[in-house]
A = this chain, B = another copy of it.
Amino acid sequence: MSTGKPIIVLVKPQLGENIGKAARAMLNFGLTEMRIVDPRDGWPNPSAGPTAAGADSVLEEAQVFATTAEAVADCSHVYATTVRKRGMTKEVLTPAEAADDMGSASGKCAILFGPERSGLEVVDVELSRKIITVPINPKFGSLNLAQAVILVAYELSKMDTIGTVQPTVDKKKKEPAPQIELDRFYEHLERALEGTGYFFPPDRAPATKVTLRNMITKPAWTNEEVQTWRGVISSLEKPFVKK
């Protein structure tokens, strides 16, 4: 059951207890849609129920995915929560700013939360459009998973009470392309560049690919725009393919 509210995506969570706590945190503020990526201890996890403290419906309806990319394939806006500075050029929002951002967004929104110890990996941040960072004490930053979820959910619930009216029909055309289209575009671009020497030297290639992905996820291009870019790349690669 989708409520149209943002989706909480737990990426590789370790402890079932924390999944339960996250569910409880969500439901306190009216969020009901949880997606779980590659949970360490499988799913369902009997440890999750007790800590959900009654938020069982969230756990029961949670969907499990093998990869983050699959979990957000249908989402137009993906946000990564992280505390680390990553030298990225993506916009960094506070939870309040992110709530505001999502309040005016059309298309599904997903918020990624990383594993308890390590947080999100670069590859997850890469596919996100924006970053959410909770401003914490520089001398003591120790937010656990459920706490990060509750702060974001709390801010989102504020938007709810304001009751933002979505002019759905007109926005349809402007809606950002779902993540899967960005993935396809990226794969196309990488394929086109493969034989051109662009990814030389090979040891720089991984970093270069991260940069490209980041540039593609940043603009919130519409489906049409993504198709236009693909047309551009196709036109440019054609002569090469013909060689």
Contacts and interface: CB of A to CB of B under 8 A. Distances in A.
Contact of A164 (B135, B198, B221, B243): B135
A167 interface: yes
A192 B236 contact: yes
B89 A28 contact: no
A79 interface: no
Contact of A165 (B24, B136, B197): B136
A141 B96 CA distance: 21
A55 B140 contact: yes
A242 to B, nearest CB: 9
Interface in A113-134: 131, 133-134
A169 B29 contact: no
A74 interface: no
Contacts of A164: 135-138
A229 interface: yes
A239 B193 CA distance: 11
Contacts of A220: 218
Interface string A215-226: 100111110110
Interface string A149-179: 0110010011001011111111001100000
Contacts of A137: 27-30, 157, 163-165
Contacts of A142: 24, 27-28, 53-55
Nearest to A135: B164
Contact of A236 (B141, B165, B236): B236
Nearest to A233: B236
B231 A198 contact: yes
Given A54-B142, A151-B151, A243-B243, 12 more contacts: A54-B140, A88-B169, A96-B158, A135-B165, A138-B164, A147-B150, A151-B154, A196-B239, A197-B238, A215-B225, A236-B236, A240-B240
Interface of A: 24-25, 27-30, 53-55, 85, 87-89, 91-94, 96, 131, 133-138, 140-143, 147, 150-151, 154, 157-158, 161, 163-170, 173-174, 189, 192-193, 196-198, 211-212, 215, 218-222, 224-225, 228-229, 231-233, 235-240, 243
8 contacts: A89-B174, A94-B167, A141-B165, A150-B151, A198-B236, A215-B229, A218-B225, A243-B243
